């Protein structure tokens, strides 16, 4: 029922139109073409001919698939000369738009499982679970029926975060953007700071792990006093702590490098990278009996936990105290370093 020469034009058109989407999906153009052509086949198990308007559906047939099919037929049945007058990403743009969550406050890209209401409005998994099972557009019930057509296209066009199983809902068009997201994803897995420990897990399990296995490295609160001994003949030192301050968590690292003849200290915020700017840390050296004008103070904004401590220390955008400063404030060969972590703007 479908002219063979038109089918050739369709395949050529899909290949041309999906050329722009190949960069989006990091897939070959003909992979997406296959998905599109398959979605245009009749769903009757004994037929599988290509459909052409008018295309009819049952009541439970996803309305978005019908829209995609009609648009695809219109685009694919056009001549190649007409296609040359169109932008290469027209089809991709329409398809990507159809993959956006219908909820007016969301608009994230949907990825399997894609659920819908009885009227065919589709929602991402997060919204379908949190909308009390009622569609905010038409008020009908969100049902368990999945939109298989959109799911098939989504798997070709979109990339999900590798921490999706941990709860990350992020879906992106370009895989290269997802790589950057995964490095700072709030659902990413953390490694234990102990070289002898092989534990990895989400941020919310960090405190429990450290408390159970490295109790001496866990500190609850925002202030701590470090007592450093043997200042006159100080060897290399490396101390790492997990600070639990209410609902927030921080990595604290304090070291001494004999080669650099200096102490270094920094604090990392554990969680979303943009939240790190909301906190600051202060390292203070002050010996008892010394007047208030004579102290050594360093205040910095907390660093994101995606930054490497060694790079922070090399940049000296952190607490940095040469050994001569340490010896000046030390008493009985003991140096007292006080650390305080607080919200930016707090006095």
Both 139 and 57 in one domain: the answer is yes
Model-wide pTM > 0.75:
no
Comparison of pLDDT for 23 and 269, the residue scoring more: 269
Q: What is the mean pLDDT of the chain?
A: 77
DSSP lists the bridge partners of residue 242 as: 218, 251
Number of independent structural domains in the chain: 2
In a domain, 173, yes or no: no
Over residues 178-205, the pLDDT tens digits come to: 777 887 888 888 889 888 899 999 888 9
Distance CA 69, CA 51 (A): 9
Distance CA 263, CA 234 (A): 10
Over residues 132-153, the pLDDT tens digits come to: 778 888 888 888 788 888 888 7
Least confident of 85-99, 188-202, 231-245: 85-99
**Residue 269: domain span:** 190-343
| Cα 190–chain centre separation | 14
Both 229 and 280 in one domain: the answer is yes
In a domain, 162, yes or no: no
Both 91 and 202 in one domain: the answer is no
In a domain, 178, yes or no: no
Both 199 and 296 in one domain: the answer is yes
Structure tokens at 183: 């490095």
Q: Percent of the chain having pLDDT more than 90?
A: 34
Q: What are phi and psi of 122, to 5 degrees?
A: -105, 150
Reply yes or no on whether the pLDDT at 121 is more than 90: no
In a domain, 139, yes or no: yes
User: Which CATH number is 255's domain given?
Assistant: 2.60.210.10
Both 202 and 320 in one domain: the answer is yes
Q: Answer with the one of 132, 157, 182 that is the final residue of a domain.
A: 157
């Amino acid at each position: 029922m479908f002219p063979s020469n038109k089918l050739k034009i369709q395949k050529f058109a899909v290949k041309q139109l999906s050329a722009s989407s190949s960069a989006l999906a990091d897939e070959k153009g003909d992979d997406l073409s296959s998905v599109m052509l398959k979605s245009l086949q009749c769903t009757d198990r004994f037929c599988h001919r290509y459909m052409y308007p008018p295309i009819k559906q049952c009541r439970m047939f996803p309305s978005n698939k019908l829209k995609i099919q009609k648009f695809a037929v219109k685009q694919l049945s056009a001549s190649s000369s007409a296609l040359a007058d169109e932008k290469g990403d027209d089809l991709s743009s329409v398809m990507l738009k159809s993959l956006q969550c219908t909820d007016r406050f969301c608009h994230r890209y949907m990825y399997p499982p894609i659920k819908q209401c009885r009227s065919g409005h589709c929602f991402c998994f997060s919204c379908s679970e949190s909308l009390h099972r009622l569609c905010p557009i038409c008020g009908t019930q969100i049902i368990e029926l999945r939109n298989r057509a959109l799911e098939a296209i989504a798997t070709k066009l979109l990339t999900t975060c590798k921490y999706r199983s941990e709860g990350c809902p992020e879906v992106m068009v370009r895989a290269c953007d997802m790589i950057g997201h995964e490095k700072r994803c709030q659902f990413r897995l953390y490694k234990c700071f102990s070289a002898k420990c092989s534990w990895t897990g989400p941020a919310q399990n960090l405190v429990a792990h450290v408390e159970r296995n490295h109790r001496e490295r866990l500190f609850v609160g925002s202030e701590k006093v470090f007592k450093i001994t043997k200042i006159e003949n100080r060897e290399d030192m490396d101390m790492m702590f997990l600070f639990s301050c209410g609902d927030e968590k921080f990595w604290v690292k304090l070291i001494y490098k004999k080669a650099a003849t200096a102490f270094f200290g920094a604090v990392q915020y554990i969680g979303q990278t943009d939240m790190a700017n909301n906190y600051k840390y202060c390292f203070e050296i002050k010996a008892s009996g010394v007047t208030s004008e004579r102290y050594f103070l360093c205040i910095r904004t907390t660093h994101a936990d995606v930054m490497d401590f060694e790079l922070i220390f090399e940049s000296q955008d952190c607490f940095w105290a040469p050994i001569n400063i340490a010896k000046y404030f030390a008493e009985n060969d003991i140096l007292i370093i006080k650390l305080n972590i607080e919200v930016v703007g707090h006095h």
